[in-house]
C-alpha cells in the first residue's frame, strides 16, 4: 500500500530513505513501520464504535420479532420486515408529528434567515442611536440558560393562549442572538464598496440589503440554516413543557413519550428513531461542509 | 465616523440622523425584541418568581429569600448537585482529551479520512431523544450489543443504565458518543489554522512528532481549549434530555441532575418559586465558572474571548 508522503505536518511520514519521505528517521524506527499509517489503528476502531449503534438502530428497525426476542440477540437479521414501520404509523400519530416538526422547522428557518440577517446587517452597517448597547445586550443573552427561562416562558405563553399549540414550539425559534451575531460577523467581513456604489445609484437601504448584500451572504445563510434546523428539529425540553396535546407533538416529543408506552418494543422504537433522525442525517450527508462550518463557527468565533 | 459628529452637533442634519436611527432600528428591532422578550424579560420574571411561593393556580404569596434558604438544606438537591458535578468532572476532561486526540488523528491526509470524519460527526446530528432511546437498546442488559460484545470477550455482563452504580457513567459514555463531534470539529479547525511552515521548520530541525505536538500545536490549541472547557462545562451542568429519555433520574435517583430536579419541582410538583430559585443558583454557578475560566485564561495570556 503506497502511502502519500504529502503529509506536511506529520513527522511519521514513511521514511523509506528512497526520496519518498522528507524526513529520515533512525533505522530502528524504520523497522517498526507498518504498511499503513498507525493512525488507522486509532481511527478505524473509533469510527466503527461510532457507527455500530447507528447500524444496530437501522438493522433492528427491520428485524422480525423472532430475531429481536432471542437471547443472545442477533445483530444481523435473518429476515427483513417493514412491520416495525407499519406498526409505528398505525399505532402512533407519527405522520402528524413529522408534519408538525416540518412546520416548526420550516417556519424557524425562514424566520431566522430573514430576521437575523436583517438585524445582523443593521448592527454591522447602519449607524443609529443605541446600536452598541443594543448589540451588547442582545449578545449577552446567549449566557441565559433554558432552565431559567422555561418556567416564566411557560406562564407567559399560557397567558396568551399559546400553550398546547404548535405556535408554542415555533415562537422561541423565530430569531436568536447567535443568528444575529453570526450574520453581523459575516456582513462585517464584506467589502463596503459594492453597497456604496448601489446607494449612489439610488438604491434604498433595504434595497441594498435585499438585492446586493443578501445574495452574497449565502455561505453564512447556509450555516444559519443548519444551526436552526438542528436546534428546532431536535429540541425536546421546550416542547415537552409546552405541549401536552398529542396532535401537536413534535417528532422528538412524540418519540420520547411513545417510548414510555412501549418500553421494549424495539423494532417499533428503532423505526421511530430512524424516521426522526433520517431527515437531518440525509441533510448532513448532503451538506456536511455546512454542518462542519456551523459547528466550528459556533466554536471559534463566539 | 461622520455620523457621530452629526449626533452631537446641532446642525440641520439632526433630522437626517433621526431618520437614520429609525431605519437602523427598523432593521434590528424585530429580532432584538423577540430575543430580549424571550430571554431578559422571563429571566427577570424568574427572579421575581424565585421570591414567591406559587403553584400556578392559586394566587402567589411572598416568600422573600425562603426558597433560597430552603435549597441549602434539601438532601434531594444535594444529591442532584453531586451527580451533576461527577458527570461534569468526567465528561469535560474526557471530551477535551478525546476531542484533541481524534482531531490530531483526523488532521492528516491518510486514506479513508473522509469516512472517519463522517463517522465521528454523524452522532452529533442525532437528537437527544433518538440518542437516549438508542442507548436504552444498546445498553439493554438482555438485548443490547454492549453486553453482546462483553460476552464475546468473555467478560461479565453489566446492568449499565439499570444499575445505580453504573448509570451515571453510562450516561457519560452516551453523551461523549453524541457530542464528541463538536470538540473534534473545533479542534480540527484550530489545527488547520496552524501555519504549515512552522511545523515543517520544526521537523527539519529534527523535532519528533511528540515535541511538535507539545511545543507547537498545543500552545496554538490553548484558546480553543478554554472555549471548549467553558462550553462543555455549561453543557454538562445542564444535562437533561438524555436523562429524560433514558433513566428519568433513576435507578433510585442515581441520575437525578440539577436541571432534571428543576423540571421535576416545576412541572410535576408545580413548585414554581422553589424551582426558579434552584435554576437561579445554577445560573449563578455557571456564570461564575465561565467568568473564572475566562479571567484565568486572560491572566496566563491565552485569550479565547
Taking an 8 Å cut-off on Cβ atoms, the answer to whether B212 and A47 are in contact is: no
Structural domain harbouring B160: 74-299
Taking an 8 Å cut-off on Cβ atoms, the answer to whether A53 and B145 are in contact is: yes
The pLDDT score that the predictor gives to residue A78 is 80
The pLDDT score that the predictor gives to residue B7 is 46
Taking an 8 Å cut-off on Cβ atoms, the answer to whether A6 and B109 are in contact is: yes
User: Cβ–Cβ contacts within 10 Å for residue B40, how many?
Assistant: 16
Residue of A nearest to B222 (CA): A300
Summarize the confidence of residues B124-129 as an average pLDDT.
90
The pLDDT score that the predictor gives to residue B42 is 93
B58 lies in some domain = no
Instruction: Say if B259 is an interface residue toward chain A (CB within 8 Å).
Output: yes
All residues at 6 or more sequence positions from B215 whose CB lies less than 8 Å from its CB, including other chains: B202, B207
B168 lies in some domain = yes
Summarize the confidence of residues B91-112 as an average pLDDT.
92
User: Which of A265, A196, A190, A151 minimizes the C-alpha distance to B279?
Assistant: A151
All residues at 6 or more sequence positions from A83 whose CB lies less than 8 Å from its CB, including other chains: A64, A65, A267
The pLDDT score that the predictor gives to residue A67 is 79
Give A173-190 pLDDT, tens digit per residue. 999 999 999 999 989 988
Using CB atoms, pick whichever of A71, A148, A256 lies closest to residue B46.
A148
- In angstroms, the CA B304 to CA B295 distance is 10
- In angstroms, the CA B227 to CA A302 distance is 9
ipTM of the predicted structure? 0.84
Mutate to test the interface with A, among B2, B5, B16, B31 (most CBs of A within 10 A): B31
B235 lies in some domain = yes
B279 lies in some domain = yes
B65 lies in some domain = no
Number of domains in chain B: 1
Q: What phi-psi label fits residue A111: left (phi over 0), alpha (psi between -120 and 50 degrees) or beta?
A: alpha
Shortest distance, CA B64 to any CA of chain A (angstroms)? 18
The pLDDT score that the predictor gives to residue A31 is 54
Residue B10 vs residue B158, higher pLDDT? B158
Handedness of CA A26, A32, A34, A39 (dihedral sign): negative
All residues at 6 or more sequence positions from B44 whose CB lies less than 8 Å from its CB, including other chains: none
Summarize the confidence of residues B96-110 as an average pLDDT.
91
* pLDDT band (50, 70, 90) for residue A101: very high
Summarize the confidence of residues B112-130 as an average pLDDT.
90
- In angstroms, the CA B46 to CA B44 distance is 5
Burial readout A196-220 (b: 16 or more C-beta within 10 A, e: otherwise): eebeeeebebeebbeebbbeebeeb
- In angstroms, the CA A123 to CA B301 distance is 30
Give B27-50 pLDDT, tens digit per residue. 999 999 999 999 999 999 999 999
Q: In whole angstroms, how far apart are CA A22 and each of A1, A18, A153, B213?
A: 18, 10, 62, 18
- Report whether the peptide linkage leading into residue B251 is cis, meaning its omega lies within 30 degrees of zero: yes
Q: What is the CATH number of the domain that holds B186?
A: 1.10.3720.10
- Does pLDDT of B292 surpass 50? yes
- Does pLDDT of A3 surpass 70? no
Give A136-158 pLDDT, tens digit per residue. 999 889 888 888 999 999 999 99
Total count of residues recorded for chain A = 302
Give B167-205 pLDDT, tens digit per residue. 999 999 999 999 999 899 889 888 888 888 888 888 888
The pLDDT score that the predictor gives to residue A1 is 35
User: Which of A159, A158, A146 minimizes the C-alpha distance to B263?
Assistant: A146
Handedness of CA B14, B16, B22, B27 (dihedral sign): negative
DSSP output for chain B: -HHHHHHHS-STTHHHHHHHHHHHHHHHHHHHHHHHHHTHHHHHHHHHHHTEE--SSSPPEE-TTHHHHHHTT-HHHHHHHHHHHHHHHHHHHHHHHHHHHHHHHHSS--TTHHHHHHHHHHHHHS-HHHHHHHHHHHT-TTT-HHHHHHHHTTPPP--GGGSTTTHHHHHHHHHHHHHHHHHHHHHHHHHHHS-HHHHHHHHHTT--HHHHIIIIIHHHHHHHHHHHHHHHHHHHHT--HHHHHTTTT-STTTT--HHHHHHHHHHTS--HHHHHHHHHHHHHHHHHHHHHHHHHHHHTT----
Give A14-60 pLDDT, tens digit per residue. 434 344 444 444 545 555 667 788 888 899 999 999 999 999 899 88
* pLDDT band (50, 70, 90) for residue B253: confident
User: Which of A234, A211, A238, A220 minimizes the C-alpha distance to A178?
Assistant: A220
Shortest distance, CA A284 to any CA of chain B (angstroms)? 7
Mean pLDDT over the full length of chain A: 83
Summarize the confidence of residues B145-160 as an average pLDDT.
86
Mean pLDDT over the full length of chain B: 87
Does pTM surpass 0.90? no
- In angstroms, the CA A23 to CA B283 distance is 52
pLDDT-above-90 percentage for chain A = 44
pLDDT-above-70 percentage for chain B = 94
B292 lies in some domain = yes
B9 lies in some domain = no
User: Cβ–Cβ contacts within 10 Å for residue B232, how many?
Assistant: 22
pLDDT-above-90 percentage for chain B = 40
The pLDDT score that the predictor gives to residue A30 is 53
Mutate to test the interface with A, among B32, B80, B141, B203 (most CBs of A within 10 A): B32
Instruction: Say if B122 is an interface residue toward chain A (CB within 8 Å).
Output: yes
B183 lies in some domain = yes
* Residue pair B223/B302 in contact by the 8 Å Cβ criterion: yes
Amino acid at each position: 500500500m503506497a502511502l502519500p508522503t504529502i503529509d506536511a505536518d506529520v513527522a511519521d511520514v514513511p521514511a523509506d530513505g528512497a526520496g519518498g519521505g522528507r524526513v529520515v528517521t533512525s533505522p530502528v524506527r524504520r523497522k517498526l513501520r507498518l504498511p499503513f499509517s498507525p493512525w488507522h489503528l486509532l481511527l478505524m476502531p473509533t469510527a466503527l464504535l461510532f457507527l455500530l449503534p447507528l447500524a444496530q438502530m437501522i438493522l433492528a428497525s427491520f428485524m422480525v420479532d423472532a430475531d429481536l426476542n432471542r437471547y443472545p440477540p442477533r445483530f444481523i437479521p435473518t429476515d427483513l420486515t417493514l412491520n416495525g414501520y407499519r406498526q409505528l404509523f398505525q399505532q402512533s400519530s407519527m405522520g402528524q408529528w413529522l408534519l408538525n416538526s416540518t412546520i416548526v422547522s420550516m417556519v424557524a428557518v425562514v424566520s431566522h434567515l430573514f430576521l437575523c440577517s436583517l438585524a445582523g446587517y443593521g448592527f454591522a452597517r447602519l449607524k443609529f442611536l443605541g446600536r452598541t448597547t443594543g448589540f451588547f445586550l442582545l449578545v449577552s443573552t446567549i449566557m441565559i440558560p433554558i432552565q431559567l427561562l422555561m418556567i416564566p416562558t411557560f406562564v407567559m405563553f399560557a397567558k396568551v393562549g399559546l400553550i398546547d399549540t404548535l405556535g408554542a414550539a415555533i415562537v422561541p425559534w423565530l430569531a436568536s442572538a447567535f443568528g444575529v451575531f453570526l450574520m453581523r460577523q459575516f456582513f462585517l467581513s464584506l467589502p463596503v464598496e459594492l453597497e456604496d456604489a448601489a446607494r449612489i445609484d439610488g438604491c434604498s437601504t433595504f434595497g441594498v440589503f435585499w438585492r446586493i448584500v443578501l445574495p452574497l451572504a449565502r455561505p453564512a445563510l447556509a450555516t444559519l440554516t443548519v444551526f436552526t434546523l438542528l436546534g428546532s428539529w431536535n429540541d425536546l425540553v421546550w416542547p415537552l413543557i409546552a405541549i401536552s396535546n398529542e396532535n401537536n407533538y413534535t417528532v422528538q416529543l412524540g418519540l420520547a413519550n411513545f417510548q414510555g408506552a412501549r418500553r421494549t418494543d424495539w423494532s417499533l422504537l428503532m423505526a421511530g428513531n430512524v424516521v426522526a433522525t433520517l431527515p437531518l442525517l440525509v441533510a448532513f450527508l448532503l451538506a456536511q461542509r455546512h454542518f462542519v462550518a456551523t459547528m466550528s463557527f459556533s466554536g471559534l468565533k463566539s | 465616523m461622520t455620523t457621530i459628529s452629526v449626533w452631537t452637533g446641532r446642525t440641520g442634519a439632526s433630522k437626517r440622523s433621526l431618520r437614520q436611527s429609525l431605519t437602523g432600528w427598523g432593521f434590528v428591532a424585530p429580532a432584538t425584541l423577540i430575543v430580549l422578550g424571550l430571554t431578559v424579560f422571563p429571566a427577570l420574571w424568574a427572579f421575581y418568581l424565585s421570591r414567591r411561593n406559587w403553584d400556578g393556580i392559586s394566587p402567589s404569596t411572598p416568600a422573600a429569600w425562603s426558597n433560597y434558604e430552603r435549597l441549602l438544606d434539601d438532601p434531594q438537591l444535594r444529591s442532584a448537585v453531586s451527580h451533576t458535578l461527577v458527570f461534569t468532572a468526567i465528561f469535560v476532561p474526557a471530551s477535551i482529551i478525546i476531542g484533541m486526540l481524534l482531531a490530531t488523528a483526523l488532521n492528516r491526509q491518510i486514506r479513508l479520512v473522509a469516512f472517519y470524519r463522517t463517522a465521528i460527526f454523524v452522532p452529533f446530528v442525532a437528537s437527544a431523544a433518538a440518542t437516549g432511546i438508542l442507548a436504552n437498546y444498546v445498553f439493554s442488559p438482555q438485548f443490547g450489543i454492549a453486553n453482546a460484545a462483553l460476552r464475546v470477550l468473555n467478560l461479565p455482563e453489566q446492568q449499565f443504565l439499570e444499575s445505580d452504580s453504573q448509570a451515571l457513567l453510562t450516561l457519560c459514555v452516551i453523551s461523549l458518543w453524541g457530542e464528541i463531534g463538536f470538540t473534534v470539529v473545533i479542534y480540527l479547525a484550530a489545527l488547520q489554522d496552524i501555519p504549515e511552515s512552522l511545523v515543517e521548520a520544526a521537523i527539519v530541525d529534527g523535532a519528533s512528532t511528540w515535541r511538535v505536538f507539545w511545543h507547537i500545536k498545543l500552545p496554538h490549541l490553548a484558546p480553543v481549549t478554554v472555549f471548549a472547557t467553558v462550553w462543555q462545562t455549561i453543557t454538562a451542568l445542564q444535562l437533561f434530555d438524555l436523562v429524560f429519555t433514558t433513566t428519568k433520574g433513576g435507578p433510585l435517583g442515581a441520575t437525578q441532575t440539577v436541571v432534571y430536579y428543576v423540571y421535576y419541582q416545576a412541572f410535576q410538583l408545580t413548585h414554581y418559586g422553589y424551582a426558579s430559585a434552584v435554576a437561579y443558583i445554577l445560573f449563578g454557578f455557571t456564570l461564575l465558572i465561565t467568568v473564572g475560566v475566562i479571567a484565568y485564561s486572560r491572566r496566563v495570556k491565552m485569550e479565547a474571548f
